[in-house]
Amino acid sequence: MNANAGQIQNVQPERVFALLHTRPEGLRAAEVAARLAEIGPNALATRARHRWLAILVRQCINFFSLLLDLSAAICFVAEAMQPGEGMAMLGWALLGVSVLNAVFGFLQEYRAERAMEALRRFLPQRVTVRREGRDQEVLAEALVPGDLLLLAEGNRIPADARLVACTEMVVNNAPLTGEAKPQPLTANAVQTGLTESLNIAFAGCAVLKGNGEAVVFATGDRTEFGTIASLSQDIRRTVSPLERETNRMVRVLSAIAVCVGILFFAYGVVIGNSLWMNLVWMLGIIVAFVPEGLLPTLTFSLAIGSLRMARRNVLVKGLNAVEAMGALHVICTDKTGTLTLNRLAVTHLVDGLRGEPLAGTGRAGFLRLAVIASEVRAGAAGFTGDPLDVAVVDLYAAEVGAPEPLLANTRRHFAFDVRKRREAGLYAGEDEIVFALKGAWESLRPLVAALSDPGGGPPVGAEPEALERIERNVAELASHGLRVIALAHRPLAAPPEPGTPQETLEQGLVFDGLMGIEDPLRPEVPAAVAACRGADIRVILVTGDHPDTAEAVARRAGILGAEEAPGRHTMTGRELEALREAELIERLRDGILVFARTTPEQKMKIVLALKRMGLVVGMTGDGVNDAPALKAADVGIAMGLRGTDVAREAAQVILLDDNFASIVNGVVEGRTIFRNLRKFTDYVLAHNVPEIVPYLVYLVFPVPLAINIIQILSIDLGTDIVPAIALGQEPHEADTMRRPPREIEARLLDWPVVAHSYLFLGLLEAAYSQALFYFVLVLGGWSYGDPLGPTDPLNRSGMGIALSSIMLMQIGNLVGRRSQYGTGIDLGLIRNRLIVLGVALEVFFSWAVLYLPSAHRVLGTGPVDPSIYALAWLGIPYIFGLDYLRKRVLLWHRTGRVVPVVQAAP
């Protein structure tokens, strides 16, 4: 039933009714019911959304959770086979870790898909239509193709409709097209594409001025608005770099743990050990290898990072987007409302003949005439009407005085005519009568008979040479991306007769000058763009505006350099449409930085091409038309104040102050967070080796087990959590925004981290903790080969000192991880209060496992002589000192210097 969108704009108004099988008096009730049954309601279809239970189930069946669940099940079976050995407690602990990680994953992933509901809120709820010859109010959802829609100022358009009659109608298509310029509409036929047509009222857009009648030809998903919504829904959110890396790290560590655990279980079977002992070995190795606290710690760190970003006006909806901000290689930014303020302003008043700015009385007189040629209405919130007229009146109020007396004496207004491209007003006061006219220079030039003197002298004749000079000044203003409006007037000796045609009054006009209109650039944007370029982040402008306007804004913002040749780095949507992805990638590599006259589909095409180049892409925007690209990007960044609900729902990051400069703050935080994640990953993995080695030694040699599984979990999920989170909150370094973005393949768990944590720090900690364990056993009278059960007081004391020493050595590790080449102390311990808290907790628990009876019962540890506990404290300088020596050697090897650079920001 929907009309052919390729021709509805090309026919005269009277033909529209025939095309849509309707009539000027509207549809009959039976026709409405039939079409509603065939087409469906004027609503956007909702896609199947993930239920919260499905998301939770998916988190519970990932590899990491299943591994822990299986281990917990084995513990419960073992407890049933041999009660009283503490396996049930271990099973509940492992199950708790599994549930904890599943809950964190669920909270991280669960973001309600409310874009469809936001779109519904964006569309009007009730509208006025004409049916069976009567004007009536109906629900917007009840509209069908063929309905005659009655539109008035302030209405939001509920469906795509072809105008068949209108009076002075101006709409704002910015939510759909991204263009801030108000669009005058006409009911006449046009020979353009549908989206460029001046006789189409599009769903979701607003009527700024005037009124009209339009026949609905597309409803619901068939509207341009619905097409964009469908694009947004069809796009699946890509996996962020951090998600990719954490999933890989968990898979690698879990696979190693399972393989080693099964290997030693098989070895125990071969040498004839009991099933019980083999289970203990396998579980011990799996629990020791898998850093159970790593994922909760990572989530906590990201959550705290997101709060810190919120304090800098960057609201993060998905935690992984916190780090993804720091990985950005490219930011594709919209113009309207992002780089600019999304409002029209008069920024230039120019003497058209000389090209010089107007000042003094000449400026005031010019503004007075411009107000006469404007039509606004006063309201509680200020003046309303055509945004250009409002901008003129606001400037008059700011520079000259109250405009109300001038407006009150403007007896007659000639509305803006789309064909004539001008509007006018007639002022009739006690002192003078004047007709003022403003519009495009091309439409005023044939009417100009004289040129005014801004200094107050008499007008001079409009010679051809003078008119050509004005023409050049118009072109100069337009080259800077300004919309140029010319102003002229005609003094009258007496009021004209009522009904005098506008054409009669337009005789013998005196030209007064030119106005430059623009959507002003946000003042903080150039500095923010410069910071992005300094950090090797490429900024690309993607807009629906005219190429000249887009390029001018790009130059003012610093996206294009002043020396760049016009058009060299700019591409239009028409050119883009003709390119295959490989060709687009080639043009992007050649340095295209501005895309103009783009459609939502083309914005998404640009984002996908950049991603195909192996780049992490951010997309900013605030309009409905930005939603698909926001969702397709690695990081969608929406405006919080001016952005539509649709854009905010599609994005992962929201700028609370609509300030492009806040993106730089987000990038700084994101880069800092990734570096800090590497720090605490290195820190957390180091204690895995002193947890694994006792099981390997116990398997190969006739010696007691130096650490049990509950003790391992007391480190992984206890004492190391706060220090790891503290490392995640370290301040950014001074050169953070002077480095290039990290490579997309950069790993949290790479060979340098593995070598340092496992083969250096881990082995050092394992050697020292094992030495203290056997030292206590030998002092207690134990001999090599003597059996010693886990409940034996001597064994419990040995386990206690081994566990305590690992906790204390992690303090040296913690301080050392703060700096890549420095001591870590030089950064100031008290600057990060969580570091102080982490150290205090490590110290307290290192004492508690030895001397607190309740800890003895839970962990199976026992006390030692204080002098031996003092030996455990030597583990701090032992780890810290050897690690710092390694840093110095590494620094000398890489740079030839032995003095590290202080890395933290002041």
Known catalytic residues are: 334
**Rounded to whole angstroms, how far apart are CA atoms 468 and 551?**
26
**Rounded to whole angstroms, how far apart are CA atoms 379 and 176?**
27
**Rounded to whole angstroms, how far apart are CA atoms 72 and 90?**
7
Closest CA to 281 of 823, 692, 775, 819: 692
As a residue count, the chain comes to 906
For CA atoms 232, 233, 236, 237, the dihedral sign is positive
Which two tokens mark 733? 């370094």
Which helix or strand (DSSP H or E) is residue 13 part of?
Answer: helix 13-19
CA distances to 349, 431, 717 from 287, in Å: 74, 94, 11
**Rounded to whole angstroms, how far apart are CA atoms 547 and 335?**
12
Closest CA to 372 of 209, 540, 487, 280: 487
Instruction: Kindly tell me the burial class for residue 573, based on how many C-beta atoms sit within 10 Å of its own C-beta (0-12, 13-18, 19 or more).
Output: buried
Three-state helix/strand/coil letters over 806-852:
HHHHHHHHHHHCCCCCCCCHHHCHHHCHHHHHHHHHHHHHHHHHHHC
Q: How many beta carbons lie within 10 A of that of residue 379, not counting itself?
A: 9
CA distances to 684, 766, 810, 846 from 873, in Å: 20, 15, 11, 9
Which helix or strand (DSSP H or E) is residue 727 part of?
Answer: helix 721-728
Backbone torsions φ then ψ of 492, nearest 5 degrees:
-120, 140
Helices (H), 161-290: 174-177, 224-234, 241-270, 275-289
Which helix or strand (DSSP H or E) is residue 683 part of?
Answer: helix 661-686
Beta bridge partners of 211: 152, 167
Which two tokens mark 124? 């009007």
Amino acid at 103: V
Range 352-359 contact pairs with CB under 8 angstroms and sequence separation of 24 or more: 352/451, 352/470, 352/473, 352/474, 352/486, 352/511, 352/512, 352/513, 352/514, 353/451, 353/466, 353/469, 353/470, 353/473, 355/469, 355/472, 355/473, 355/476, 358/454, 358/513
**Rounded to whole angstroms, how far apart are CA atoms 337 and 347?**
17
Q: How many beta carbons lie within 10 A of that of residue 758, not counting itself?
A: 17
For CA atoms 346, 643, 174, 158, the dihedral sign is negative
Closest CA to 787 of 703, 695, 697: 703
CA distances to 26, 200, 693, 709 from 174, in Å: 30, 14, 65, 61
Does residue 256 contact residue 758 with C-beta atoms inside 8 Å? no
Does residue 616 contact residue 592 with C-beta atoms inside 8 Å? no
Closest CA to 138 of 109, 164, 159, 116: 159
Instruction: Kindly tell me the burial class for residue 88, based on how many C-beta atoms sit within 10 Å of its own C-beta (0-12, 13-18, 19 or more).
Output: middle
**Rounded to whole angstroms, how far apart are CA atoms 378 and 363?**
24
Does residue 712 contact residue 641 with C-beta atoms inside 8 Å? no
CA distances to 258, 689, 704, 770 from 285, in Å: 8, 10, 16, 16
